[in-house]
Amino acid sequence: MSRPQPRAVHLFEVVSPPDHSHGGASPRHLVWFWLWLACLALPSTLVATDSDHCAACGEVTFGKVYLVTDAVTAEKVSVCTICEAIYPNCFLCGLPAKTNAPGFVRLPDGRSICARDAKTAILGEDDSLRICSEVRDGLDRLLWRFMAFPETNVTLAIVDRVHLQDLFKFAGNDYHCPNVWGYTQSSTNQGRIVHRVSVLSGLLPSWFKATCAHEYTHTWVHQHISSHRKETLGRDAEEGFCELVSYLLMDAEHDEAEKEMILRNA
Ligand SMILES: [Zn+2]
Ligand SMILES: [Zn+2]
Question: Quick one: CA dihedral 137, 119, 155, 217, positive or negative?
Answer: positive
Ligand number nearest CA of 105 is 2
Last residue of some domain: 95, 118, 141? Answer: 118
Reported as a single tens digit per residue, the pLDDT across 146-192 is: 888 888 889 999 999 888 888 777 655 444 555 588 989 888 888 88
> Cα of 73 to ligand 2 centre, how many Å?
10
**Is residue 42 within 8 Å of residue 34, measured between CB atoms?**
no
- State whether residue 97 is helix, strand or coil: coil
Flag whether 4 is in a domain. Answer: no
Three-state DSSP at 169 gives: helix
Residues 155 and 193 in one domain: yes
Residues within 5 Å of ion ligand 2, judged at the Cβ atom? 90, 92-93, 114, 117
Q: Which ligand is nearest to the CA of 64?
A: 1
Shortest CA distance to 241 belongs to which of 226, 252, 230? 230
In a domain, 3, yes or no: no
Same domain, 109 and 136: no
Examine the domain organization and report whether 27 and 92 are in the same domain.
yes
Rounded CA gap, 89 and 93, in Å? 8
pLDDT exceeds 80 at position 58: yes
CA of 241 to the centre of ligand 2 (A): 29
**Full domain range(s) for residue 30:** 9-118
Going by pLDDT thresholds of 50, 70 and 90, the confidence category of residue 88 is: very high
Q: How many whole angstroms from 76 Cα to the centroid of ligand 2?
A: 14
* 101 lies in the same domain as 204: no
Q: Are residues 72 and 107 in the same domain?
A: yes
Q: How far is the CA of 13 from the centre of ligand 1 (A)?
A: 15
Residue 1 is assigned to a structural domain of this protein: no
Closest ligand to Cα 71: 2
Would you place residue 46 in the very low, low, confident or very high pLDDT band (cuts 50, 70, 90)? very low
CATH number for the domain including 210? 3.40.390
Beta strands (DSSP E) in 62-165 are 65-69, 76-80, 105-106, 112-113, 154-159
Looking at 88, 118, 148, which one is the last position of a domain?
Answer: 118
Q: What is the domain count for the chain?
A: 2
Distances (CA, A) of 265 to 72, 91, 240: 14, 17, 10
Ligand 2 centroid – CA 171 distance (Å): 31
Domain assignment present for 107? yes
Q: Is residue 241 part of a domain?
A: yes
Q: Which helix (H) or strand (E) holds 194?
A: strand 192-200
Together in a domain, 132 and 256: yes
Average pLDDT of the residues of the chain: 79
Q: Are 53 and 132 in a shared domain?
A: no
Residue 177: count other Cβ atoms within 10 Å of its Cβ: 25
- Ligand 2 centroid–CA 130 distance in Å is 24
Give the HSE-up count for residue 173: Cα atoms under 13 Å, Cβ half-sphere: 21
The distance between the two most distant Cα atoms of the chain, rounded to a whole number of Å, is 95
Q: CB count, 10 Å around CB of 93? A: 24
Contact 154, 197 (CB under 8 A): yes
